[in-house]
Structure 1
Amino acid sequence: MTGTPAIRVMVVDDHPMWRDGVARDLTEEGFDVVATADGVARAAQIAKAVQPQVVLMDMQLPDGTGAQATAGVLAVSPESRILVLSASEEREDVLEAVKAGATGYLVKSARRAELVDAVTATAAGKAVFTPGLAGLVLGEYRRIAREPDDETPVLTDRETEVLRYVAKGLSSKQIAARLQLSPRTVENHVGATLRKLHLRNRVELARYAIDRGLS
């Protein structure tokens, strides 16, 4: 990571020894661990203040679930990417996390090198899953895609154009530069698209676009 800014990471887990151990490992590997949190409420509160690039999220928290914490974090820090790090490999946990906005799911038995690679890939916008879980998620999205949808919202040409760039991971400023618009106009298009599609954040918006081949 020499010569480039360290990836800002927040670790959310209610077990102090595990949480501190992960934070220490990532710090030793050159990441900037900007914060830790031990529950749903604290995760959102801290994420709003520090705006981490990657959040390592446990699924079992004392005041709720990792899915709830994921939604809460993304509501206040929409540019963050959530990588679940959990002991659970249950189908329901994996799908709930992804539906809430997580972009990856790693089990806690992963080796340190795997965790380092996963955090780096997540920061770059890639989906990272423990082997076996990716197929589960893909199968669920294929099932959803086969379901009839007679009320698909109609997007304008400009909204569709902006959506394509969102799917590529571009920021509002970058999209504005490409389309010769103001960042505020781009944000207005993003907001309108979110409302039309009944989605909550850019992560869900990007996934929607990718699922429909708009990327």
Structure 2
Amino acid sequence: MIRVLLVDDQHLIRAGLRMLCESTPDLEVVGEADNGREAVSLAARLRPEVVVMDLRMPGVDGITATGRILAERPATRVLVLTTFGDDDHLYPALTAGACGFLLKDAPPTELLNGIRRAASGDSPFSPEVLRRLVQRAVHARTGTPQRLDGLTAREQEVLGLVAEGLSNTEIAQRLHIGVTTVKTHITSLMTKTGSPNRVRLALFAHGV
């Protein structure tokens, strides 16, 4: 059972997320918060495995809350639920330690699978969000793009599929290899590229 904390200042969104999570037997909503300050308090008390975090909230926002939660409980996985209007908040949330980004209008199955992937140590993100992150980074970039020297042919294949937003399972199916092997390649890629998480690895693949 995956323990989930929902954080959003809109009651209807939280209610919808709760109903969605409670429709499946492997997710348990242990609490709800309508602001970042309450989210930090509940995360410390309820010890959720995954926090589904809104970014724009009055008072303590989702970025600040993410940083505080992870400072106290580094093993907690913070999954951002965002809108395209949150572009300016995505990089700060990534820096604060968010493990993934999904759109608020994502299909229910994508959200549920995203929570599961976050809990398992993966970094789920909607392809649309990744494209926006990359576009903004490319637009703002200065200097020479990072090189891919030192990567094996298989690692470059895996890196390209990570950049497309594929999950470990999808990469394994595409390359006809085991999921454990994919995880090993991704760990090696993160080490070689200095990427702390999957999103940064995807940005690296685009030369950002």
Shorter-chain TM-score bucket reads 0.5 to 0.7
Quote the offset at 1:91 in angstroms.
2.9
CA distance in 1, matches of 2:100, 2:76: 12
Asked if 2 retains the 8 angstrom alpha-carbon contact of 1:40 and 1:72, the reply is no
CA distance in 2, matches of 1:42, 1:71: 14
CA distance in 1, matches of 2:106, 2:196: 33
- Which residue does the alignment assign to 1:114? 110
Are 2:83 and 1:87 aligned? Answer: yes
Residues 209 and 63 (structure 1), Cα distance of their counterparts in 2 relative to 1, 3 Å cut: farther
Pairing 1:1-215 to 2, within 5 Å after superposition: 6-30=1-25, 31-137=27-133, 140=137, 209=191, 211-212=193-194
CA distance in 1, matches of 2:195, 2:83: 33
**Partner of 1:82: helix, strand, or coil?**
strand
Query: TM-score by structure 1 length?
Result: 0.62
Structure 2 segments unaligned to the other structure (5+ residues):
146-188, 198-208
How many residue pairs end up in the alignment?
Answer: 152
Query: TM-score by structure 2 length?
Result: 0.63
Quote the offset at 1:88 in angstroms.
3.5
Structure 1 segments unaligned to the other structure (5+ residues):
1-5, 148-206
* Aligned-pair identity (%): 30
Residues 132-163 of structure 1 show CA distances to partners (whole Å, capped at 9, x for unaligned) of 3224546749x69969xxxxxxxxxxxxxxxx
What is the RMSD of the two structures over their aligned residues, measured on CA atoms? 3.0
Asked if 1 retains the 8 angstrom alpha-carbon contact of 2:103 and 2:129, the reply is no
